[in-house]
Structure 1
Amino acid sequence: MNFRKATRLGGFILSATFFFSCVGAVKEVDPTAYDITPVDRKMEEIPEACKTAYEMAIPRVAIVDFTNNTTFDAAKVLQAQESGSYSEATVGAAGVGVAPGAIGIVYGEATAGDYQSQLEMVTREVNAKLGESVAEGITAQLVEMGGAKVYTRRDLQKVIQEQQFQQSGLTDVNTLVQLGKLAGVKYIITGSVNNVNLKWVSAEYAKKGLSEHLGLVGAIAAAAIETQEGWNLTTDMTIKILDVETGEIVLAKNISGREVLGKTPQLTFDALIGGIKKAAMNAIADAKEDLSKYFKVRGYIIQTRTSPDKKSRYALINVGSKIGIQPGQEFYVYTFQVVVDPFKKTEECDMVKLPVTLEVTNQVQENKAWTVVKGDENQIMRVKIGQLVERKPVKEGIF
């Protein structure tokens, strides 16, 4: 459940969205508590035309470094090794700005007080490597999620060197498609880091107003706002998936992630780069559902168990933790029929999604997982050994 409420406080409109999620705990089950009944021995009859649906070909995916369109790249940083003290140094209310592209230590404009020190200046060269870092984050996300064989950056680099590709040319779609064909992959994932925004968030005024005007809900929101006070950094990116076989861009999505850097009155270049990368990783996590639509996990049912009253059923599927299956994930279940084209007179496979869901329990092994069959009492009895299962798009949970 979610609801949105807005109120006016001292000339400002405060608007907040609150999410309440009734996400239950992962189901703990003992499948052996139920005997295998005659209904559990029934098997799906798979028409010849539908057997190709069981080919578990997991696509190979190559991930190319993202293009860095921001001003944060290689830089020379003037670092101060200092002794001295601040006197009454503070960072003030909302609206304090910084210069994210500045070299060295970045100060808020509202920093006040006297500062005396003796400085020993040291110059060092740094490289943000944002494009490489984002690509590694995508790689980690895909490996965790499963459903794809990820082509490592080292393997891809070898192909680039052998074919004398220039890294600077890897933003061109035709070049990427050509590279993908040479590498023998189905998809290429790439994109760009487009913008970085840094601002100071002052929570005190908002917290007071929310508590006074929205009561209990306001108090809950105020507590949440307090954790966001300080420097808030946002990284905006674009992620693309290219189908190597067709050359088509099958996904182009703008994503954004945020990271709170804290209330320190000064930010170093290293702290900013670290914040940018963390915000980028948060954005990638939000793109998990979109990615999982292209890298599906399929398997089939190898055993069922039914309670004596036939109101509860378990199903054992032939996929597990080795390809990213985790407790709480859900699967569709398919049955099949053959349809005949009235004009071509050819037989085609029709996959019919049953009105049930398989929810993965705590019983997950490397190549198997027990699930609870969820649905109408009559529909759950249609689940049989041999039926195809497909993982639903993976969503980032709201807690």
Structure 2
Amino acid sequence: MFKKSKKVSFLVVVALLCFMFSSVMVAGASPKRIGITKFETNNFTVRVPGGGHYDIGLGATDMLTNELAKNKSFEVIERDQIRSVLDEQAFGASGALDDSTAAQIGKLVGLKYIVYGKILSAGAEENRTSVMGVAVNQLNIKVQISVRMIDSTTGSIVWADQVDGNVKKSGGAIQGIGSVQTGVSASVYDEALGIAIKKIATNISKQSPLEGCVAKVSGRKLYLDIGREQGVQPGQSFMVYKEGETITNAAGEVIGVEKGDICKVKISSVEGQMSVATIEGNGAALVEQGNKVRSL
């Protein structure tokens, strides 16, 4: 009876420590403020059927804003606030930014990070072929974006890359009877742009991963203390890890902690403040209540 009581007490203590860590992490670690400027387009416009024009730079900014807003590790600042600072500080004369001016703007708006980019190209290539008497028109729509993420406090480049978004559309008809045109509408460009933007948002989110704690272990199923309110989504992948000894510098100041990865898990269901994950691959036997998790 005494041994059983000690075991129960131990589990209660572990659960309490896990809860305390999670509360400090979620409540104490305030979201990082991030801003996105309108993506430059080098003064080119995308023409769509009907004689209209599509502002692909504005579309890219709005899409990235919506994607990053899903990550509760960030507080996304509306582009209108950044635009007003650009105008007030006379940065808006040319509309062009570089790492230095981006960092200055970030400081003025009170951002931790600022993201700016350029639409390098956006267009469609048409290929016409004939298969068994059927004329086939195929369009390859490609959007190419260059993007940078700047730390406003240091002016350093946190992440930079060149990303593509590709979409293929096709249509056809029997030769001599009629033809089906494969047109390029704004929605098609949005589709290609959306693919590129999701890649950008994923890489930006990796710079500030969502973290939590394993609240309960049930075989290959884990219950995490972070859920929908913290930005967790079904299908999202996390790494389970265990913290070791603290790392100090020459002055004896704590600068980090050793982290040992255990296994990868995938979120299967999400509730308000908790989620359920399934262990992928090996490592299930090593997972313990109180282990930490970070988004991948």
CA–CA distance in structure 2, aligned partners of residues 304 and 280 of structure 1: 40
Q: Which residue of structure 2 lines up, in the alignment, with residue 260 of structure 1?
A: 168
Closer, same or farther in 2 for the Cα pair 1:70/1:258, shift >3 Å?
Answer: farther
Partner of residue 366 from structure 1, selected from 260, 272, 275: 272
Counterpart secondary structure, 1:43: helix
TM-score norm. by structure 1 comes to: 0.58
Closer, same or farther in 2 for the Cα pair 1:342/1:260, shift >3 Å?
Answer: closer
- Name the amino acid aligned to 1:360: I
Counting matched residue pairs gives 273
- Highest CA radius of gyration, 1 or 2? 1
- Name the amino acid aligned to 2:147: I
Deviation at 1:160, TM superposition (A): 3.4
Q: Which residue of structure 2 lines up, in the alignment, with residue 318 of structure 1?
A: 225
For structure 1, the residue ranges without an aligned partner over 5 or more in a row are 1-36, 80-103, 105-125, 208-225, 307-311, 393-399
Closer, same or farther in 2 for the Cα pair 1:322/1:204, shift >3 Å?
Answer: farther
Closer, same or farther in 2 for the Cα pair 1:65/1:354, shift >3 Å?
Answer: same
Contact 1:170–1:176 under 8 Å retained in 2: no
Contact 1:332–1:354 under 8 Å retained in 2: yes
Deviation at 1:187, TM superposition (A): 0.9
Q: Which residue of structure 1 lines up, in the alignment, with residue 109 of structure 2?
A: 183
CA–CA distance in structure 2, aligned partners of residues 250 and 340 of structure 1: 23
Deviation at 1:262, TM superposition (A): 4.2
Partner of residue 283 from structure 2, selected from 373, 376, 398: 376
Contact 2:64–2:201 under 8 Å retained in 1: no
- Deviation string, structure 1 residues 5-50 (Cα, Å, up to 9, x no partner): xxxxxxxxxxxxxxxxxxxxxxxxxxxxxxxx8585562879xxxx
CA–CA distance in structure 2, aligned partners of residues 324 and 342 of structure 1: 34
Identity of aligned pairs, percent? Answer: 20
Q: Does 1:72 align with 2:45?
A: yes
Deviation at 1:180, TM superposition (A): 0.5
CA–CA distance in structure 2, aligned partners of residues 331 and 266 of structure 1: 41
- The more displaced of 134-143 and 163-172 is 163-172
Closer, same or farther in 2 for the Cα pair 1:341/1:249, shift >3 Å?
Answer: closer
Q: Which residue of structure 1 lines up, in the alignment, with residue 74 of structure 2?
A: 148
CA–CA distance in structure 2, aligned partners of residues 243 and 359 of structure 1: 30
Deviation at 1:145, TM superposition (A): 4.5
Partner of residue 236 from structure 2, selected from 297, 320, 329: 329
- Deviation string, structure 1 residues 232-281 (Cα, Å, up to 9, x no partner): 221211121111111122222111112335445475xxx45543333222
Closer, same or farther in 2 for the Cα pair 1:198/1:354, shift >3 Å?
Answer: closer
CA–CA distance in structure 1, aligned partners of residues 238 and 267 of structure 2: 8
- Deviation string, structure 1 residues 91-114 (Cα, Å, up to 9, x no partner): xxxxxxxxxxxxx5xxxxxxxxxx
Q: Does 1:130 align with 2:101?
A: no
Deviation at 1:165, TM superposition (A): 4.0
Contact 1:356–1:376 under 8 Å retained in 2: yes
CA–CA distance in structure 2, aligned partners of residues 367 and 200 of structure 1: 49
CA–CA distance in structure 1, aligned partners of residues 114 and 225 of structure 2: 28
Q: Which residue of structure 2 lines up, in the alignment, with residue 116 of structure 1?
A: none
Contact 1:304–1:316 under 8 Å retained in 2: yes
Report 1:225-264 matches (<5 A): 229-263=137-171, 264=180
Deviation at 1:61, TM superposition (A): 0.8
Closer, same or farther in 2 for the Cα pair 1:338/1:189, shift >3 Å?
Answer: same
Closer, same or farther in 2 for the Cα pair 1:143/1:341, shift >3 Å?
Answer: closer
Counterpart secondary structure, 1:188: strand
Partner of residue 196 from structure 2, selected from 279, 283, 289: 283
CA–CA distance in structure 1, aligned partners of residues 129 and 73 of structure 2: 42
Q: Which residue of structure 1 lines up, in the alignment, with residue 177 of structure 2?
A: none
- The more displaced of 334-343 and 366-375 is 334-343
Deviation at 1:349, TM superposition (A): 4.3
Deviation at 1:159, TM superposition (A): 3.3
- Deviation string, structure 1 residues 150-190 (Cα, Å, up to 9, x no partner): 11123323433454542534423222211110111111111
